[in-house]
Amino acid sequence: MSKSLRLDKVAKHFGSLVAVDEVSLDIEPGEFICFLGPSGCGKTTLLRLITGFENLTSGDIIYDGKVINHLPPQKRDFGIVFQSYALFPNMTVKQNIAFGLRMRNIPQRLIDERVDEMLQMIGLAGWQDHYPAQLSGGQQQRVALGRAIAIKPNVLLLDEPLSALDAKIRVRLRTVIKRLQQDLGVTLIYVTHDQEEALALADRVVIMRDGRFRQIGTPFEIYKKPQTSFVAEFVGTSNFISGLRTGNHIQCGSRKFTVAGADGVGVDGDSIHLAIRPESIELVGSKLDIEDCTPENIVETRAEVINFLGAVVRITFLMEEEEMFIDIPEKDFEKMALARGDKLMLHFPPEAFYAYTEMFSKLI
Amino acid sequence: MGSHYQETAVVGNYQVSSARMEMDKFIVPAVTICISALLFFFMLFPIFSILKLAFFENGELALSNLTLENFYRYFTNAYTLNALWHSLYVSFATTLIVTVVTFFFAYALTRTTIPGKGFFRNIIMMPLVAPSIVQALALIYLFGRNGLITAHLFGTSWNIYGPTGIIISEVLYCLPHSFVILYTTLSAVDIRLDEAAESLGASPLKVFTKITIPSAKYGIVSAAALTFNLTITDFGNPVVIGGDYNVLATEIYAQVTNLYRFELGATISIILLVPSLMAFMLNYYISRKSFAMISGAANPFIPPSRPLKKTLYTGYCSGVALSIILVFATVIIGSFVNIWPYDWTLTFRHYDFPSIAGYSALWTSVWISLVVGIAGSFVTLVAAYIIETKKPFGKQILYLFSVMPAAIPGLVMGLGYILAFNKPYYIFYGTPWIIVINIIICNFTLGILSSISNLRNIDPSVEEAAISLGSDTIRTFFRIIFPLSRVAFLQNFIYFFMRAMTTISAVIFLVSATVHLAAIEIIMLDNDGWTASANAMCTSIIVIVLAMLGVLQVIVKLTARRPGTAPV
């Protein structure tokens, strides 16, 4: 029932600023797509282009095989949920949900039915006569969702819908959104700067930076195979080590790492940037035998700071005077009874490294 | 859960009406053109007519007719030239006094812990509810040739007619306007700056001159510019209390009404337009800057003032408040006593208005004011909505046109209306409708500015939400924007209503043998020697305006939405 949506070299310039830079993407019917990126990366502008609130500078937006560049937002058949909820404060929950239906001159009987159905769906049955100011933030966002869905849109667009909410409610509403999308089979485009949210929700994640798509893939691909150092840094946590390529090894200061995935990344003498996830680094000891390790990838160091994060414990250590992290499961940590200053023997598995020739500029 | 969605697809696909969407494309351009046309026809055209008459021989537009003859005549005639000096003198003196008086008044209300702040605030706003003639009427009753204080208490022959009278009455008239600006400024400037300076060992005088005054400088200049503009363009007070002392505003009226010299009236109008335009531009420029100075710190804690300071400021504020009360008390009491100041028996006889119009003028004023109030606040809200959120082509020019009326003295606009519209084919000329339009245009600026600032408080995504749900411009305006602007609308309504009830200068040229207005009747009655009845008319206006204020207060309370939040 949903229809395909295609972005073809979509660009938006504000004066000399290029907010969105010729991006292309095919969105399958019923797909859950997340635009993920830091603030100012152009993700909200791109969403506004799709909704029709902004006009394209160049490129095409193609919906159901038709170019819709000049179609006003009212005719686009899209439901939109805003970061600030944007409920009509002068209307009750019921009137808010009914608004889009009223605009379509649907008979009152059908409106009432549809509103009741929506109230059930968003779990706010019985709240229809409340005004938005009388609802909590989470409830308000549910109404906003119900209001957008009521008009039976084929595409739902959500602009950071959860960022104004408390952490707990955020996680709970995430599930609500995911389930609604699956039940309705609607195409959903979701903009967020929260990588956890994007990975948890999306069928495909689009990583954006400086108006361009940096990587498109399933959450698993994005997390496990970050194609650029930026993606490795922005999604999840990564330790970065810089070094020089010498034959099949990467020379980092006094160390020479064996890196499995570095073939074809740079030539001899090039500087190479390695990234490794904190949870991919292994503690040599109880579980891991030293014989199973790649000897040149073993690092001896000390625990500088220990942070208890719940399921995992993050230990900060120094390597070549750079701060790095290792995450170990809380249960393992408990067994080993590590303390600050204790010696650590760490193994960097060759296949756990990502190697890049470029390094994105950190803003810090 | 999902099955719900499929099953109840009763209506195949919910669609927005295409015809409506087609029509919607033309709404914004059409409204933009209407508002531009309104301002063009009823503001620029009249001003253009004045320019034409002043600069062209016989007011005929041709290069060969271009002449400065009228200005030459004006500047070579000692009597008319004096009007300019008089106006400047009176305006500068008033500006200086008002700014100083209101600065300390606002200072007392924002920086000290004197008692009765609410009372003082209400009293200083009082002059807004009466025509700018009430001050002059009161001063004449108190200090005139037959004044209660001059002639009867002190037995002196000195009287207040002339520049002194004008200055004092203008001071009493301008107080609320200047006060509002300075009060806002002083409330916004962080009081902790003063405390910090004091804690570093600065003396109170030093804190005042080095911190308090400089931090409020934009507000001070803005208040001074506004006062200057109000004074130089005021007509009611100088015409009553000026005596032989002519000012520009009264001179325009005299030239046109008594001597039928329209071209000289137009010329003086332009001479009046120059300083008032300059004051307006200064104010406009300054108030844009001063926005940046305002911090969000509301309701700061004011440290308790020292007893002496408290006593001094309480006394000072009481003095100012008493002067204003005295003005109103004099006029109101004066309207009820038999013969002021000889026979104090109470009577209603002055309310039997001796003029032809009498009560009909009052009722005309009321219905015109209601129409002005509703139409004015509606038109300015629509214009603000179009300018602020729809950003049409030519937005900047439309905005400039919208704020321009504040720069044009009412009297000048009124004269422009006669010159432009006194033609048989303008059928609205000579009807109350031209008065309605004139008052709306003259007060367009404040209406549109307050509407714009209200619209800026509405989350733009609320409007986008409505659009994304299929709403067009008209339905968005009436279902979302208008209800959310309700309070601003009511405030604008009362503003337009008050202006329409009390304005004199804007409409004095537009009343006719058939259309009479209460505020103008005051001048007519006073002119014909029915001073007590003039007071009675003035009192009637005050009562009506206060009653309307009360009614609106009730409406605002009744329509206020239930606040409150639900548990999470």
Q: How many Å lie between the alpha carbon of B16 and the closest alpha carbon of chain A?
A: 5
**Chain A nearest-CA residue for B471:** A103
| B182 and B258 co-located in one domain | yes
What angle is formed at CA B444 by the lines to CA B441 and CA B448, rounded to 5 degrees? 155
**Chain B nearest-CA residue for A176:** B1
In a domain, B7, yes or no: no
No. of helices (H) and no. of strands (E), chain B: 27, 2
Q: Which of B314, B343, B372 finishes a domain?
A: B343
Residues B566 and B568: their CA atoms lie apart, in Å, by 6
Tally of CB atoms within 10 A around B137: 30
Question: Is A125 an 8 Å CB contact of chain B?
Answer: no
Residues B40 and B34: their CA atoms lie apart, in Å, by 10
Residues B240 and B534: their CA atoms lie apart, in Å, by 11
State chain B's mean pLDDT as an integer: 88
Domains of chain A in start order, with CATH, are 5-230 (3.40.50.300), 237-356 (2.40.50.100)
Residues A99 and A111: their CA atoms lie apart, in Å, by 9
Collapsed DSSP state (helix, strand, coil) of residue B513: coil
Question: Is A167 an 8 Å CB contact of chain B?
Answer: no
pLDDT given for residue B318 in this prediction: 97
Residues A184 and A187: their CA atoms lie apart, in Å, by 9
Residues A350 and A249: their CA atoms lie apart, in Å, by 10
> Whose structure tokens read 């109404």?
A143
A208 pairs with which residues across the strands?
A213
Residues B266 and B419: their CA atoms lie apart, in Å, by 9
Contacts 24+ apart (CB under 8 A), B80-84: B80/B251, B80/B264, B80/B268, B82/B246, B83/B246, B83/B247, B83/B248, B83/B250, B83/B251, B83/B268, B84/B248, B84/B271
In a domain, B190, yes or no: yes
| B114 and B229 co-located in one domain | yes
**Chain A nearest-CA residue for B564:** A134
Nearest by CB to B469, from A83, A151, A182: name it. Answer: A151
Worst-scoring range by mean pLDDT, A223-227, A356-360, B297-301, B434-438? B297-301
pLDDT surpasses 60 at B3: no
Q: Does residue A62 contact residue A6 with C-beta atoms inside 8 Å?
A: yes
Nearest by CB to B10, from A110, A133, A135: name it. Answer: A110
Dihedral angle, C-alpha B472, B474, B478, B482, nearest 10 °? 100
Question: Is A90 an 8 Å CB contact of chain B?
Answer: yes
Nearest by CB to A86, from B464, B472, B564: name it. Answer: B464
Give contacts of A 45-64 with B, CB under 8 A.
Answer: 51, 53
Contacts (Cβ under 8 Å, ≥6 apart) of A327: A277, A278, A279, A309, A312, A313, A314, A315
Higher pLDDT, B89 or B560: B89
pLDDT band at B300 (very low <50, low <70, confident <90, very high): low
pLDDT surpasses 50 at B12: no
Residues B458 and A42: their CA atoms lie apart, in Å, by 24
Q: Is B2 in contact with A104 (Cβ distance < 8 A)?
A: no
Question: Is A147 an 8 Å CB contact of chain B?
Answer: yes
Tally of CB atoms within 10 A around B564: 9
In a domain, B84, yes or no: yes
In a domain, B226, yes or no: yes
| B81 and B60 co-located in one domain | no
Buried b (16+ CB within 10 A) or exposed e, A78-94: bbbbbbbbbbbbbbbbb
| B40 and B110 co-located in one domain | no
In a domain, B492, yes or no: yes
| B86 and B35 co-located in one domain | no
Residues B182 and B224: their CA atoms lie apart, in Å, by 10
Q: Which of B343, B369, B388 finishes a domain?
A: B343
Query: Best of A54, A97, A103 to disrupt the B interface by mutation (most B CBs within 10 Å)?
Result: A103
Nearest by CB to A103, from B8, B16, B462: name it. Answer: B16
CATH code assigned at B435? 1.10.3720.10
Q: Please report residues of A whose CB lies closer than 8 A to that of B8.
A: 113-114, 117
pLDDT given for residue B1 in this prediction: 39
pLDDT given for residue A108 in this prediction: 93
> Whose structure tokens read 């033309």?
B26
**Chain A nearest-CA residue for B13:** A152
Q: Strands A5-14, A17-27: parallel, antiparallel or unpaired by DSSP?
A: antiparallel
The ipTM estimated for the assembled molecules is 0.84
Q: In what order do the strands lie in the sheet with A66-67?
A: A17-27, A5-14, A58-63, A66-67
Q: Please report residues of B whose CB lies closer than 8 A to that of A183.
A: 1-2, 5
Residues A119 and A123: their CA atoms lie apart, in Å, by 6
Q: Does residue A88 contact residue B559 with C-beta atoms inside 8 Å?
A: no
Residues A226 and A237: their CA atoms lie apart, in Å, by 12
For range B420-439, the mean pLDDT: 91
Nearest by CB to B14, from A89, A113, A152: name it. Answer: A152
Q: How many Å lie between the alpha carbon of B476 and the closest alpha carbon of chain A?
A: 10
Residues B550 and B538: their CA atoms lie apart, in Å, by 18
Per-residue model confidence as pLDDT tens digits over B116-158: 999 999 999 999 999 999 999 999 999 988 888 888 888 888 8
Residues A238 and A280: their CA atoms lie apart, in Å, by 10
Worst-scoring range by mean pLDDT, B328-337, B482-491, B537-546? B482-491
For range B362-370, the mean pLDDT: 95
| B307 and B380 co-located in one domain | no
Worst-scoring range by mean pLDDT, B86-90, B179-183, B553-557? B553-557
Tally of CB atoms within 10 A around B503: 27
Burial class (CB in 10 A: 0-12, 13-18, 19+), A164: middle
Give contacts of A 93-112 with B, CB under 8 A.
Answer: 99-101, 103-106, 110
Query: Best of A47, A48, A74 to disrupt the B interface by mutation (most B CBs within 10 Å)?
Result: A74
Give contacts of A 200-259 with B, CB under 8 A.
Answer: none
Encode B376-435 in three state secondary structure: HHHHHHHHHHHHHHHCCCCHHHHHHHHHHHHHCCHHHHHHHHHHHHCCCCCCCCCCHHHH
pLDDT given for residue B568 in this prediction: 30
Buried b (16+ CB within 10 A) or exposed e, B432-450: bebbbbbbbbbbbbbbbbb
Q: Is A135 in contact with B565 (Cβ distance < 8 A)?
A: yes
pLDDT surpasses 90 at B296: no
Cis peptide before B392 (omega within 30 of 0): no
For B140, list phi and psi in degrees, rounded to 5: -65, -40
Report the Cα B87 to chain-centroid distance in Å: 20
| B128 and B53 co-located in one domain | no
Worst-scoring range by mean pLDDT, A268-282, B165-179, B292-306, B503-517? B292-306
pLDDT given for residue B9 in this prediction: 40
In a domain, B9, yes or no: no
In a domain, B545, yes or no: yes
Nearest by CB to B565, from A114, A117, A133: name it. Answer: A133
pLDDT given for residue B194 in this prediction: 75
Q: Please report residues of B whose CB lies closer than 8 A to that of A136.
A: 565-568
Q: Please report residues of A whose CB lies closer than 8 A to that of B18.
A: 75
| B125 and B273 co-located in one domain | yes
Q: How many Å lie between the alpha carbon of A331 and the closest alpha carbon of chain B?
A: 35
A315 pairs with which residues across the strands?
A306, A326
**Chain B nearest-CA residue for A146:** B469
Q: Is A152 in contact with B483 (Cβ distance < 8 A)?
A: no
Tally of domains within chain B: 2
For range B24-43, the mean pLDDT: 92
| B217 and B355 co-located in one domain | no
pLDDT band at B506 (very low <50, low <70, confident <90, very high): confident
Q: Does residue B273 contact residue B76 with C-beta atoms inside 8 Å?
A: no
Tally of CB atoms within 10 A around A269: 8
A44 pairs with which residues across the strands?
none
Q: Which domain holds residue B138?
A: 71-343
Tally of CB atoms within 10 A around B411: 27
pLDDT surpasses 50 at B292: no
| B491 and B513 co-located in one domain | yes
| B39 and B166 co-located in one domain | no
Nearest by CB to B14, from A106, A137, A169: name it. Answer: A106
Q: Is B14 in contact with A151 (Cβ distance < 8 A)?
A: yes
Tally of CB atoms within 10 A around A208: 26
Query: How many Cβ pairs closer than 8 A exist between chain A and B?
Result: 124
pLDDT given for residue B271 in this prediction: 92
Dihedral angle, C-alpha B140, B145, B150, B152, nearest 10 °? -110
Q: How many residues does chain A have?
A: 364
Q: How many Å lie between the alpha carbon of B390 and the closest alpha carbon of chain A?
A: 12
Q: How many Å lie between the alpha carbon of A82 and the closest alpha carbon of chain B?
A: 7
| B292 and B391 co-located in one domain | no
pLDDT along chain A (364 residues), means of 10: 85 92 93 93 93 93 92 88 92 94 91 94 92 92 94 92 88 91 92 92 94 94 91 90 85 85 77 90 81 85 91 90 89 84 90 86 51
Alpha-carbon separation of residue A107 from A103, A114, B10 (angstroms): 11, 11, 11
Collapsed DSSP state (helix, strand, coil) of residue A256: strand
Q: How many residues does chain B have?
A: 568
In a domain, B330, yes or no: yes
Q: Which of B310, B343, B376 finishes a domain?
A: B343
Burial class (CB in 10 A: 0-12, 13-18, 19+), B455: buried
